[in-house]
Amino acid sequence: MFHRPKCDSVLEAAVVILLLWQWPTHPAHAQLLTDNNRGLVEVITGSADGTDARLVEDLANLLDDSTRRVLPVVGKGSLQNVADLEALRGIDMALVQTDALDRLKAQKPGQSITYIAKLYNEEFHLLARSEIKSVNDLDGRKVNFGTAGDGTSVTGPALFDRLGVKVEATSYVPALALEKLRSGEIAALAYVAAKPAPLFSTLRRSDGLHFIAIPMNNAVAGDYRPARLTGNDYPDLMSPTEAVDTVAVGMALMVANLVPGSERSRSVASFVGAFFTQLPRLQEAGHDPKWREVDLSAELPGWKRYPPAETWLKRNLVASGSSIGPGPSVNERDLREIFSKFLDERSRAQGAHTLSDQEKSEMFNEFRAWQKGISTVTRP
């Protein structure tokens, strides 16, 4: 038997449907959209367990308020981050390795993206099996250089090319590459990350894996700076007195080509003022130690700084003659002497010939040029 539905049930359903249909234009919904998007900036980072993701989280925790929101977005690495910065809806800023930017500039001159600040450095880790004693032992062997689009896929091949070591490159995700290294399917894996990298947190000395030193020569020194991995960084993998010399690559905060005067542009400009002003707080204990490497006055050669960032720096730094970030702690003569001793120690540790005073001077001048943001190295 057919039963006619109760009128009140039909009426209630109609009211619900009507409310749902009207909700997107309802004043309360409109206010919710306004409140949640006020001052919103989206920053794309590398992997979720990387340093850049932690630093953007630091920024969000410090800068979020009723007028601003920093939204971290997990990306796939430096090269892909640039592509996403140019093409994805809503991505305002990106963390990108400086050597990836150099590659991008060479491939696509006239880039429209700009930089807000040159930030910190990430170390190059080369983990190998016990039979590998030096980077030259990897000639002809399988070495993992990360996945397509990430920072390691740029830095790894570039370094090996400059060192003249020919390898069979693989492109497994880092966790899988580590397992293949354990099993002997590959001889080494390269990984760019701020030390100590979580990827290596489970490793022990008994695993038969160790870090390999990266020799510093003129070709490498032009774009990378000296760095060192120690037992303090990886106490379960290295002895307390052990140290392995490597190199580090810079990270920069890039910004999309936003329309001047647009809402997104105003939000990013507001973010810049808050970030630059609050940097001293980020460099205090309790935040990631990489913040202490940031010097806002450092420049990124070949790239234009985002106009609101440039204006802020001129108004707050240049006029007062001050700087925000770590300043020089030794004079030029002392720094040159320290650099010379560093090169001598590297030569002894690697069994290489001791550099002449002229070679040391040339490398020091390149280092100072790099430090000042001016590359003097020319390549064929």
Per-residue pLDDT, averaged over 2-12, amounts to 58
With cut-offs at 50, 70 and 90, classify the pLDDT of residue 380. very low
With cut-offs at 50, 70 and 90, classify the pLDDT of residue 342. low
Residues 265-276 pLDDT 10s: 999 999 999 999
Given this model, what pLDDT does residue 3 score? 52
> Is residue 211 situated within a structural domain?
yes
276 and 228 in a common domain: no
Tally of domains in the chain: 3
154 and 108 in a common domain: no
Q: Can you give the pTM of this predicted structure? A: 0.76
- Check pLDDT > 90 for residue 185: yes
Q: Select from 235, 250, 265 the last residue of a domain.
A: 250
Residues 235-287 pLDDT 10s: 999 999 999 999 999 999 999 999 989 999 999 999 999 999 999 999 998 88
Token couple for 95: 């963390």
Q: In whole angstroms, what is the distance from residue 178 CA to residue 86 CA? A: 32
184 and 86 in a common domain: no
167 and 51 in a common domain: no
Contact 292, 283 (CB under 8 A): yes
Given this model, what pLDDT does residue 66 score? 81
305 and 227 in a common domain: no
Residue 246 makes CB contacts below 8 A (sequence gap 6+) with 123, 124, 125, 126, 211, 213, 214, 227, 228, 229
135 and 108 in a common domain: no
Q: Which residue range is the domain that position 35 belongs to?
A: 28-120+252-318
136 and 70 in a common domain: no
73 and 106 in a common domain: yes
Residue 151 makes CB contacts below 8 A (sequence gap 6+) with 46, 77, 78, 79, 97, 100, 122, 192, 249
238 and 156 in a common domain: yes
More confident residue, 193 or 12: 193
Given this model, what pLDDT does residue 195 score? 92
> Is residue 228 situated within a structural domain?
yes
Given this model, what pLDDT does residue 332 score? 61
> Is residue 355 situated within a structural domain?
yes
95 and 68 in a common domain: yes
Residues 24-64 pLDDT 10s: 666 655 555 555 667 899 999 987 777 888 899 999 999 98
Which of 304, 313, 315, 319 shows the shortest CA–CA distance to 275? 313
- Check pLDDT > 60 for residue 321: no
214 and 295 in a common domain: no
223 and 198 in a common domain: yes
- Check pLDDT > 60 for residue 296: yes
Given this model, what pLDDT does residue 337 score? 64
Given this model, what pLDDT does residue 363 score? 78
Q: Select from 222, 250, 278 the last residue of a domain.
A: 250
- Mean residue pLDDT of the chain comes to 83
CATH number reported for the structural domain that contains residue 246 in this entry: 3.40.190.10
Residues 192-232 pLDDT 10s: 999 999 999 999 999 999 999 998 888 888 789 999 999 99
* Lowest mean pLDDT segment, chosen from 11-15, 85-89, 162-166, 330-334: 330-334
Q: Select from 250, 275, 307 the last residue of a domain.
A: 250
Given this model, what pLDDT does residue 372 score? 57
